[in-house]
Each structure stands twice: as C-alpha cells, then as structure tokens.
C-alpha cells in the first residue's frame, strides 16, 4: 500500500489546531512550513491508520471570513445569519452598508485571512461574483470558485479543494445562495487524483 503524502495544500485546507496522520505519512517541507505559519500541529497516531485518512481537530469553532461590496451587502447580511445559525464563527470584513465601495478591497481582505490561516474558508459576495474571484485568486494559496448552483459548489470542493467561495448577488435568489453556501461548506475534498491536480496549481504559484 502506498504511503500517504501530506502536502501544503492539505495544511491550507484545515484551520489552526491539530492534524492527526497515520504512521508512515510523508510530510513535505512545504507542508511543515505552512503548518508552522498557520499554527497547525501535525501528530502521528496509530488509530488514524484504520480510517485511512487524516483528521483535523480545530482549536475552536470553524471561522468563516465573509466580505462583500455594496452590490453584495444585503446578501452578505443574510448569509451571516445563516452561518451563525450553522455554528460557524464569522469574521465580517465589510462592507457595512450599500454605499458604493470597491470590491477588490473586500475580496483581498477575505482571501488574505484564509491564506494566513486566520479563517478556515472565505466567502465574498459582489454583484456578479466574477471580480471577487479574480482578486482572491491573486493571493498565493487561494483557490477561489465562483459558484452559481449546487453542482458547481460541490465540484469546486470535491475536485478543486476551493477555499474561497464567490457569489453574485444579482444572479441568485437569497434561498439559492443559502443552499450553494451550505453545500460548499459541507462538501469534503475528494483527494486522490484530484490532489495531484491541486498540487500542480500550487506548483504554478511557486514558479512565479
């Protein structure tokens, strides 16, 4: 049986706390570097071998970074209530009203919070969601996905290990945005062949 390889992408997908891995797991140098920066302790445990997977034990409630421009303000407020009801700790990066602002400022703040390990995942809402996705994906370690239905939300997590979700307030009904967000948060990364592809994304970032 091949040994598990713990990569930087694996560490980026978990909040600060403890990551339990089975004996024989190969931990890459990049994974150790990111774990140190994020405050993630890597612990080897025999019991993890029976499950065949690593398990993350958060230090506390999972933190979701949330942001929006004026076009996404109302939907952000709706999602904030849902996130709290679902048991997440929300860090709201603004904006605080429907007064016109620039979406790059808020998308960047959310993406940086996730990249630094201050938030487990991030959600950004603007009028259509495209601009915020472009901004977030400029931040190293971020894989932002613009999702417009349950299928894209699920795929972005299962296949791409997206850690930032962007939504278009004008494109979605609030109830649809709620369902997309719930599916996106609940869906686990599938790993396997998809991990190799996510690693290639990280390699492209390193080559710049």
Which strands sit side by side in the sheet containing 164-168, from one edge to the other? 89-92, 63-68, 121-126, 164-168, 144-146
Tokens read off for 148: 């417009």
How many CA atoms, within 13 angstroms, populate the side-chain half-sphere of residue 11? 26
Asked if residues 103 and 166 have their Cβ atoms less than 8 Å apart, the reply is no
Asked if residues 94 and 124 have their Cβ atoms less than 8 Å apart, the reply is no
Distance from C-alpha of 114 to C-alpha of 144, rounded to nearest angstrom: 11
Residue 70 falls in the annotated catalytic set: no
**Which residues are designated catalytic?**
159
């Amino acid at each position: 049986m091949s040994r598990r390889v713990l990569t930087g992408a694996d560490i980026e997908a978990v909040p600060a706390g403890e990551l339990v891995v089975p004996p024989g797991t190969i931990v890459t140098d990049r994974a150790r570097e990111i774990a140190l920066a994020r405050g993630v302790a890597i612990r080897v445990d025999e019991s993890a071998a029976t499950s065949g997977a690593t398990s993350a034990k958060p230090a506390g409630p999972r933190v979701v970074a949330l942001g929006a421009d004026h076009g996404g303000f109302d939907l952000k407020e709706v999602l904030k209530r849902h996130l709290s009801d679902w048991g997440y700790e929300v860090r709201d990066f603004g904006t605080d009203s429907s007064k016109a602002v620039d979406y790059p400022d808020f998308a960047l703040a959310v993406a940086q919070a996730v990249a630094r390990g201050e938030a487990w995942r991030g959600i950004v809402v603007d009028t259509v969601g495209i601009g915020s996705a472009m901004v977030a994906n400029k931040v190293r370690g971020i894989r932002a996905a613009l999702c417009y239905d349950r299928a894209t939300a699920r795929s972005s997590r299962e296949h791409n290990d997206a850690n930032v979700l962007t939504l278009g307030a004008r494109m979605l009904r609030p109830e649809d945005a709620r369902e997309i967000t719930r599916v996106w948060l609940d869906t686990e990364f599938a790993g396997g062949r998809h991990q190799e592809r996510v690693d290639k994304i990280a390699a492209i970032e390193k080559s710049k």
